[in-house]
Amino acid sequence: MADEESNQMARIGSLNVLTLAFTAGTLMTVLVIADAAHGGVDGDGDLDTVFANGFFDRNRVCLGDGSGGFTCSDLITGGQGTQGVAVGDVDGDGNADVVFAGGPSEVCLGDGSGGFICSGLSTDRLVSEGVAMGDVDGDGDLDAVFANFEGVFKVCLGDGSGVSPVAT
Ligand SMILES: [Ca+2]
Ligand SMILES: [Ca+2]
Ligand SMILES: [Ca+2]
């Protein structure tokens, strides 16, 4: 059984590393994480972290307790190999959502309590390496910009109910 209080996050070079310590004291596992993003995903006011775990493991949502401790669970997506992650409210319902860059990229709409429903998002390339979110066209809706493997960017403009691929 995992001891949630002794889990630790650290950054080594360009990699985020989550160390899960187990109560037996003899078993340790270290996950190399492709990317991480912070946001409040369960509405309790405490900062949470979402991890994109690359090709090595499933993505994780770690809910913060406000004092540095986290309780983590898997965030299951349809694809493998997430490379980037961003958190923002893409459908304007007040709940934080998660956008993963990877193969394929996905949008996961949050339910406000830490749960998500994910669907695929085409970014024109087999693998996207990173994603950032912001209102790039100034219409008040959150948009997503993907950095694709071949050095090509893909802008997915939001319509207030999500993001869809409409421009490069
Ligand atoms: Ca929280
Ligand atoms: Ca939302
Ligand atoms: Ca916009």
pLDDT tens, residue order, the chain (168 aa)? 444 445 565 555 555 555 554 444 444 445 567 899 999 999 999 999 999 987 777 899 999 999 989 999 999 887 778 899 999 999 889 999 999 998 788 999 999 999 999 988 877 767 788 999 999 999 999 999 998 877 788 888 888 777 665 444
Q: What's the gap in Å between 29 CA and the centre of ligand 1? A: 25
What pLDDT is recorded for position 68? 87
What pLDDT is recorded for position 164? 64
SS (H, E, C) the chain: CECHHHCEEEEECCEEEEEEEECCCCCEEEEEECEEEEECCCCCCCCEEEEECECCCCEEEEEECCCCCEEEEEECCCCEEEEEEEEECCCCCCCCEEEEEEECEEEEEECCCCCEEEEEECCCCCCEEEEEEECCCCCCCCEEEEEECCCCEEEEEECCCCEEEEEC
What pLDDT is recorded for position 7? 57
Which ligand is in closest contact with the Cα of 112? Answer: 2
Q: What's the gap in Å between 43 CA and the centre of ligand 2? A: 11
What pLDDT is recorded for position 33? 75
Q: What's the gap in Å between 157 CA and the centre of ligand 3? A: 6
What pLDDT is recorded for position 27? 41
